[in-house]
Amino acid sequence: MRTVLSRVLQMLGIKQIEIARDGLEAFDMVGTFHPDIIILDWEMVPMNGPDFVRRLRLDEESPNPYLPVIMVTGYTERRKVEEARDAGITEFLAKPVSTQGLYSRLIAIIENPRPFIRTRDFFGPDRRRVQNSKYDGPERRVGEEVVL
């Protein structure tokens, strides 16, 4: 999958690509390579994708907690998508990966960046993709910090 993603990125004109063997190596590389984006798989050992993202977002030693993250996975059931979202991913891409699918996620990150939200147990891109002006329910974000 790493090779496929690397080739797709090259086809899209991206020249500087670094590939990590696992989440631990990737975390260290964020501090030395300074990527503009991370594309990772759910299934990684010893640290899976959601654990990596939580560490990237919440660890005090994180070199860049604001880094956009695209999670690629074969898991498409709602529970897994919500878990990835709640870990703090920026975009979700289901396998099989297509050039168009990856391109659309990259464009979404560039053209529609979401503000970061910090709560007691979450830090990451706003999970609300659509602001509903007609919503009249309780405001659960009172007291939460919005970081732009």
Decide: helix, strand or coil at residue 73: strand
The number of folded domains in the chain is 1
Average confidence score pLDDT of the chain: 88
CATH of the domain at 121: 3.40.50.2300
42 domain-assigned: yes
Q: Which tokens go with 108?
A: 């979404």
What pLDDT score does 61 carry?
A: 92
- Quickly state the pLDDT bin for 76 (edges 50, 70, 90): very high
Decide: helix, strand or coil at residue 92: strand
Which among 5, 93, 86, 87 is positioned nearest to 52, based on CA atoms?
A: 87
Low-confidence winner among 18-22, 41-45, 90-94, 135-139 (lowest mean pLDDT): 135-139
133 domain-assigned: no
pTM: 0.85
- Quickly state the pLDDT bin for 65 (edges 50, 70, 90): very high
Q: Which domain holds residue 121?
A: 2-128+140-147
73 domain-assigned: yes
What pLDDT score does 135 carry?
A: 62
134 domain-assigned: no
Looking at residues 93-109, what average pLDDT do you find? 94
Distance CA 30, CA 53 (A): 12
What pLDDT score does 2 carry?
A: 87
Looking at residues 130-138, what average pLDDT do you find? 64
- Quickly state the pLDDT bin for 140 (edges 50, 70, 90): low
What pLDDT score does 143 carry?
A: 57
Q: Please check the confidence at residue 118 and state whether its pLDDT lies above 80.
A: yes
6 domain-assigned: yes
32 domain-assigned: yes
51 domain-assigned: yes
| 48 contacts 40 by C-beta, under 8 angstroms | no
Q: Please check the confidence at residue 146 and state whether its pLDDT lies above 70.
A: no
135 domain-assigned: no
